[in-house]
Structure 1
Amino acid sequence: MAQLSLRGIKKRFRTTDVLHGIDLEIGDREFVVFVGPSGCGKSTLLRLIAGLDPITDGQFFLNGKLMNEVAPSRRGIAMVFQSYALYPHMDVYENMAFGARLMGLDKPEVERRIAEAARMLRLDELLQRKPRELSGGQRQRVAIGRALVRKPDVFLLDEPLSNLDAALRSEVRLEIARLHREIGGTMIYVTHDQVEAMTLADKIVVMNAGRIEQVGSPRELYESPANTFVATFIGSPRMSLVDVTREGNRLNVPDGGSLALDALPQVPALKLGLRPDAVSLHRGGGEGFEAQVVYTEYLGDNAYVYVRLADGTVLAARTAPNDAFAPDAPVRVTLAPGAAHFFSAEDGRRLVP
């Protein structure tokens, strides 16, 4: 069992405030992902949980116990770093055994735990190899196995896939998801890759400039982003934002056409958020925003056509792979019913019609 509670957590390095009062609850067996751009404070928060850096202000509780002054080795937390941090002169077995021996475990227990971790991570045939004889994906699995052998209450993973190529990232991501299901532990995973966050997390914590922007499931964040930052960070391709004005039930782009929608927020100016699946492109005249094709990304099973509106905003539209749109061709943009998102033009918060 591992329940974490962070209350008013702040971190300051000399005169620089990095975290500005983080409040967060993490439940037992949850897979939580901290996501955000570089420099937002997500790795710093992870290090505070691990005890590697002191908390400037606020309180961190683990299973109801205040942990602020508890040494890292006594917190029941294991951390997997971005760099594998394996000992090059030790083989895989010795790398995995090192931490367990420091815990004072006897030899039979160490061997049992290593055998169990090696089975879970498919490392059985690699135990006698040195790190230099392993691929990047295998090294990362060894680093995870070293943490697993300690049987911690909480696993912390700090961008563990960032040094891997695309194929290995996908492979190790599946291993991590399977491992969480098998051991049922509480995992906190840091990444700047929103695809990793969407595919792995039970709960995503979106961070920006040392603050939490929104906490929720992948579906909640994708379908109901709290503000424009979350809206444009979650989803690939990213959500496009269009500055529009409202007149009755119509939205207008300056010098670029208009569109009628059934339900609109009752404000004169707002930002219209559009995901690629919400956008439809049409040739010829009729209602819609006027646009011009910029280019097309062909992805095999589908394609993304990028178009530029009259005000210069670029939108992405998901289309069938055989639906060709020539560069510079004029098109009209319409929206799928109920697929538009609305945000305040002043502060970017979500607006509900």
Structure 2
Amino acid sequence: MAQLSLRGVRKNFRNVEVLRGIDLEIHDRELVVFVGPSGCGKSTLLRLIAGLDDISEGEFTLNGRSMLNVPPSKRDIAMVFQSYALYPHMNVYENMAFGARLMGLSKDEVQKRIDETAATLQLGPLLQRKPRELSGGQRQRVAIGRALVRKPAVFLLDEPLSNLDAALRSEVRLEIAKLHNDIGGTMIYVTHDQVEAMTLADRIVVLRDGVIEQVGTPRELYETPANAFVGTFIGSPRMSLLKAVRDGDRFGVAGSGAVLLPEAPETGATVTLGIRPDAMALAPAGDADGFEAEFEYAEYLGNEAYIYARLGDGTRISLQGDTKALTHRPGDAVRLRPNPAEIHYFDSETGRSFRRT
């Protein structure tokens, strides 16, 4: 069992405040992903949990016990680093056994744990190899295996897939998801890749500039973002933001006309419309409804296509299109029709979401 609680956690490096009051509860057996742009504080928060850095202010407890004065080796937490951090002069077996031996386990218990972990991660044939003889994916599995052998209460993974190519990232990502399903345990995973966050997490913690913007399941963050930042950060291709002026139920964009949105919540006279690619479509020829735009280019991906167009005010917008209907050329005039039920409304000044009633 491993339940973590962070209350009012702050971290300062000299005069720079990196984390500015983090309040977060992580439940037993959860896989929680910290996600956000570079410099948002996600890796720093992970290091505070591991005990590699000291908390400047606030409280961190594990199963109700304060961790503020507990050294990393006594926290029952194992960390998998972005750089693997394998000992180059040791083979795979010795790398995996090193931490377990420091725990004072018997030789037979160390052997048993390595056998179990090697079977889980398919590392049996690699136990006598040195790290330089392994591929990137194999090294990552060894780094994960080294943590597993310790059987900690909490696993911390700091951008473990960032050094792998795209195909290997997908493969190892599936292995991590299966691993969590097989062994349980509480996992905290740090990444800047929102696709990893969406596919792995039970809950996602979105950070920006040292504060938590929103915590929720992947579905909650995708369908009901708390603000425009979360809306654009979660989802690929990203949500398009349109600056609109409201006149009753009509919302106009400079140089592109207006659309009727009768389901819109109460907003101010100016509002930012958030529209995901699958919530916007090309209007049929001769259709007078929708925003006027200029076709820029299309990305053909085999089973789907993404179309990019520019509105009259210069805003670029993306939409999901039919691969069989990609007949437009750059510079062509097109009309874009949004799905009113799928539009998000944000305050133009604060970015916060206007909730539907």
Matched ranges for 1:113-124 at <5 A: 113-124=113-124
Q: CA offsets, 1:51-99, max 9 Å, x none? A: 0000000000000001111010000000000001111111100000000
Kindly indicate whether residue 307 of structure 2 is the aligned counterpart of residue 305 of structure 1. Answer: yes
Counterpart residue identity of residue 276, structure 1: P
Partner Cα separation in structure 2 for residue 284 and residue 9 of structure 1: 58
SS in 2 for 1:157: strand
1:240-255 alignment runs, 5 A limit: 240-255=240-255
Cα distance in structure 2, aligned partners of 1:69 and 1:76: 14
- Please, which runs of 5 or more residues in structure 1 have no aligned partner? none
Aligned to 2:40: 40
Residue identity matched to 2:99: G
Separation (CA, whole Å) in 1 of partners of 2:11 and 2:103: 30
Task: Quote the offset at 1:352 in angstroms.
Answer: 2.1
Partner of 2:282: 281
What does residue 160 of structure 1 align with? 160
Question: Match of 1:327?
Answer: 330
* Equivalent residues of 1:197, 1:204 under 8 A apart: yes
Residues 263 and 340 of structure 2 are in contact (CA less than 8 Å); yes or no, is this contact kept in structure 1? no
Q: How many residues align?
A: 353
Contact preservation (8 Å) 2:249, 2:260: yes
For structure 2, the residue ranges without an aligned partner over 5 or more in a row are none
Runs of 4+ in 1 over 3 A off after TM superposition: none
> Partner of 1:97: helix, strand, or coil?
helix
1:31 aligns with 2:31: yes
Q: CA RMSD in A?
A: 0.8
Report the 3-state secondary structure (helix = DSSP H, G, I; strand = E; otherwise coil) of the residue aligned with 1:235.
coil
Q: Distance in 2 between matches of 1:268 and 1:137?
A: 53
Q: For residue 337 of structure 1, report the CA deviation from its aligned partner.
A: 3.7
Alpha-carbon distance between aligned partners in 1 of 2:188 and 2:325, rounded to the nearest angstrom: 42
User: What secondary structure sits across from 1:338 in the alignment?
Assistant: helix
- Residue 255 of structure 1 deviates from its aligned partner by 2.5
Distance 2:187 2:166 in 1: 23
Query: Is 2:213 aligned against 1:217?
Result: no
Partner Cα distance (1:265, 1:51) in 2: 46
- Output the CA distance in 2 between the equivalents of 1:105 and 1:196: 35
Amino acid at match of 2:324: N
Contact 1:292-1:330 at 8 Å conserved across structures: yes
Deviation at 1:284, TM superposition (A): 3.4
Q: Is the contact made by 1:8 and 1:23 (CA closer than 8 Å) also made in structure 2?
A: yes
Secondary structure at the counterpart of residue 207 of structure 1: strand
Q: What is the match of residue 262 of structure 2?
A: 262
Match of 2:355 in 1: 352
Q: Distance in 2 between matches of 1:276 and 1:30?
A: 31
Alpha-carbon separation, structure 2, partners of 1:352 and 1:51: 39
**323-332 or 220-229: which moved more?**
323-332
